[in-house]
């Protein structure tokens, strides 16, 4: 049986939203990656831009 790996990059923290800067805990891509994980199973891996 194959094991799934969901790799994603998501912008969280300070983001420009609706004319001001907001601090968000999770970006949209992270939320979608979690939905995919619940649907198909597997592990999540977040690409960290700071580590590059």
Locate the domains of the chain by residue range. Answer: 5-51
Helix (H) or strand (E) holding 30: helix 28-40
Q: Pick the residue with more confidence: 2 or 28?
A: 28
- The pLDDT of residue 7: 96
- Give the tokens for residue 13: 């923290």
pLDDT given at position 43: 95
- 7-26 tens-digit pLDDT: 999 888 888 878 889 888 88
CA distance 26 to 35: 13
State yes or no: pLDDT of 27 exceeds 90: no
Residue 3 half-sphere exposure toward CB, CA atoms < 13 A: 4
Q: How many residues make up the chain in this entry?
A: 52
């Amino acid at each position: 049986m194959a094991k799934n790996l969901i790799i994603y990059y998501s912008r969280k923290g300070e983001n420009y939203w609706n004319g001001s800067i907001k601090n968000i805990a999770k970006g949209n891509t992270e939320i979608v990656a979690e939905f995919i994980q619940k649907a198909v199973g597997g592990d999540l891996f977040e690409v960290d831009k700071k580590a590059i």
